[in-house]
Structure 1
């Protein structure tokens, strides 16, 4: 047809109009609901830090009593991820999300009537830990892997931003609820949010695009082929352990788990756990320090989404080297910048923390998938994420011990900076990703 004729021009206009009227691919709606689940889950997991002092003052418990719940929550949260990744193939995305929200809601609701410290450890440490760990970064990575081929790195970045932002940005809001109505009101609010999310999750989430007659976004029929999941929940758990045994001695896994161990050390381990008390040592009000952490969460949105976009286009090993290197330099600078007030150089470092906070997630997800294949990649990333949370736990304890031994957090900041620089070097010797891993979307 001659495109210069009036008929051809009219046809072209009609085609563009139909394209504009065509609804967006369901994958974007699934990603949006997954974003909400990850945002809420991360906020719920980190909210215990806001509740500790009010719980201690109200119930007469000691810091040792409540710290056990914090430690257990971190460990269970991390270890739940690889098993949740395996169970996803058996139970499904929607059932996993619904079950996790029910666990979180029930655990938070039950804390409002607890009377003994062991109940906090059981409820928030174990029950909420399993629930939040089941819908953490690994959950988002698997959803992105199933529903997206094009823009996969970008979507992983967006979902990673939800996880990190939920940990930091909502802390001031939860603190305001505690100040106004008490810690029980905050626990009840968490439970109510879980209930409100349940119908949305049930209506929108599906296990795979094929369940609603679709191909993955930007994908082909080959990309839509479902994997052979384990025949039972017990087999799924065994499969997670088998995958760990198979990959645990391989060079790619050791490097990926080791660098992500450092990621947990240098984020949740020292910044989330010790930035506020370290700033307090230098005369900064706790509210000001908490506000700076919220700023980290805001900048993380830009950094993680940007990292997802870059992961679709740049060698993920180079990205990891840059991220860990910049984080190391920022950590090394912290001791000389903390003081009673917030000076411009500290704001620059805080912004850098935010841009770099979970920027490591998209390239790490891609490297797990390309190194171990789409069938094992999600479970492998689950174990790598478990290493992240173990690193966070070790760093939280080590940083506190260094503070107690020296009377100052400077050794802890310097150690964190050193391990970050080491992770930057280790990233450069990771295996090269396979063909297409960074193709433009």
Structure 2
């Protein structure tokens, strides 16, 4: 006899199950992905690190006046800061793999606070080099651009270029927030008070990083943002410590694309942090502009840099990064060539045009460079970018000291602007020579 009984529905096919699971799925979709929390805290941490990096350009003259140190001597401390900022970066990326993002970043913020705070006790030039140069250089180098590449590489698949732009803009935002304040305090109360304030700001960020940053998406029970179910994006990497940084360098150095990116980025550092970021206020003061006004203009560069870098990140997801670098370097070079004719005691309309234009271009080079490193070197991309960024800071260090020397010898910075402008043209050509993998895009 045939059994006419209806078999029970298989597990998961009961409509009641659908009714009970639907709200949970909806809640999962509506819940803020932890990647955005990590990115937000990372932005604040980078902003805190950038606070001290806004100080040197407005304290060169106060230190020169109080201690009698030459511009070249003070610039040497700035150069060491920039050099360590770059050379520590690739090792910091590897240490983040070994010890975790949270521990490395918190330690870096403490070093920045110590270096900034101890400057108030210095009486000799070597102490400036030890605090301003060594401690702060190691600190900011431990959470520099490879920190950005590590966060975006582990936590994001979708919107990676955009998030890279936003986090990169944190440095400019730090300058925006602190530079006018530092200049005003240094003018009215001396240079020691802003140094203490910067130390306090760096320390205040430590609890946020410790409480809210996780090393991998799996630590929060999720996949990387936008990653499909079968993707290994954000997976844990083998623990290899600082040795991994050297191995990645050895492998990357065999590829022409690495040297082209590193060379272009060295010129990028020379033309931004090393030259404009360090010496613009002093150069403008040489032409009769008050330091507070010049600092305000440099802060405006930070305002427009936020927009420019975020837009660059958005474009990097859609346009060949090499074409973006070609445009950025070419236009930057032209603007530096005309800058000497714009400096004066007053801010003419032409200077406002330069500030807006240069601000949009300031570090817009970072998102396309990060993405090219990811394309060329895969999972080793953050560490490879760390070495590219090291070249950026070597260029910045050479420019900071070189421009100070030119100022001491010739009495003006004009030659420094012209040399930097010509080098940017070379960087534009180097960027177009990078060969992307056939699967890129």
- What TM-score do the two structures reach when normalised by structure 1? 0.88
1:193 to 201, 210, 214: 201
The corresponding residue for 1:293 is 298
Q: Does 1:277 align with 2:282?
A: yes
1:184 to 178, 192, 195: 192
CA contact (8 A) 2:62 2:191 kept: yes
1:411 to 396, 400, 415: 415
Alignment of 1:67-86 (within 5 A): 67-86=75-94
CA contact (8 A) 1:38 1:137 kept: no
Bigger relative contact order, structure 1 or 2, given CA contacts below 8 A and separation 6+? 2
Deviates more, 1:21-30 or 1:207-216: 21-30
Distance apart, 1:277 and its partner CA: 2.9
Q: What CA distance in whole angstroms lies between the structure 1 residues aligned with 2:118 and 2:347?
A: 40
CA contact (8 A) 2:156 2:225 kept: yes
Alignment of 1:106-125 (within 5 A): 106-125=114-133
Question: What stretches of structure 1 of length at least 5 have no aligned partner?
Answer: 1-10, 231-235
The corresponding residue for 1:6 is none
1:274–1:193: structure 2 CA closer, same or farther, 3 Å change rule? closer
Q: What CA distance in whole angstroms lies between the structure 2 residues aligned with 1:61 and 1:243?
A: 41
The corresponding residue for 1:429 is 433
Alignment of 1:6-405 (within 5 A): 18=26, 22-55=30-63, 57=65, 63=71, 66-220=74-228, 221-230=231-240, 236-374=241-379, 376-405=380-409
Deviates more, 1:18-27 or 1:196-205: 18-27
1:101–1:52: structure 2 CA closer, same or farther, 3 Å change rule? same
Distance apart, 1:101 and its partner CA: 1.2
1:302–1:331: structure 2 CA closer, same or farther, 3 Å change rule? same
Question: What stretches of structure 2 of length at least 5 have no aligned partner?
Answer: 1-18
- Deviation string for 1:184-217 (max 9, x for gaps)? 3222222222222121111100101111111010
Distance apart, 1:64 and its partner CA: 5.7
Distance apart, 1:94 and its partner CA: 0.5
1:224 alignment partner, SS class: coil
CA contact (8 A) 1:81 1:386 kept: yes
CA contact (8 A) 1:315 1:433 kept: no
2:236 alignment partner, SS class: coil
- Deviation string for 1:10-45 (max 9, x for gaps)? x9xx98x95698221111111010001111101213
Q: What CA distance in whole angstroms lies between the structure 1 residues aligned with 2:339 and 2:67?
A: 36
The corresponding residue for 1:3 is none
Q: Does 1:420 align with 2:398?
A: no
1:350–1:60: structure 2 CA closer, same or farther, 3 Å change rule? closer
CA contact (8 A) 2:61 2:282 kept: no
CA contact (8 A) 2:72 2:404 kept: no
1:222 alignment partner, SS class: coil
1:76–1:169: structure 2 CA closer, same or farther, 3 Å change rule? same
Larger-Rg structure: 2
1:96–1:368: structure 2 CA closer, same or farther, 3 Å change rule? same
Count of equivalent residues:
419
CA contact (8 A) 2:72 2:405 kept: no
CA contact (8 A) 1:169 1:295 kept: no
Q: What CA distance in whole angstroms lies between the structure 2 residues aligned with 1:410 and 1:192?
A: 37
1:207 alignment partner, SS class: coil
1:254–1:189: structure 2 CA closer, same or farther, 3 Å change rule? same
- What TM-score do the two structures reach when normalised by structure 2? 0.88
Q: What CA distance in whole angstroms lies between the structure 2 residues aligned with 1:248 and 1:116?
A: 40
Distance apart, 1:274 and its partner CA: 2.6
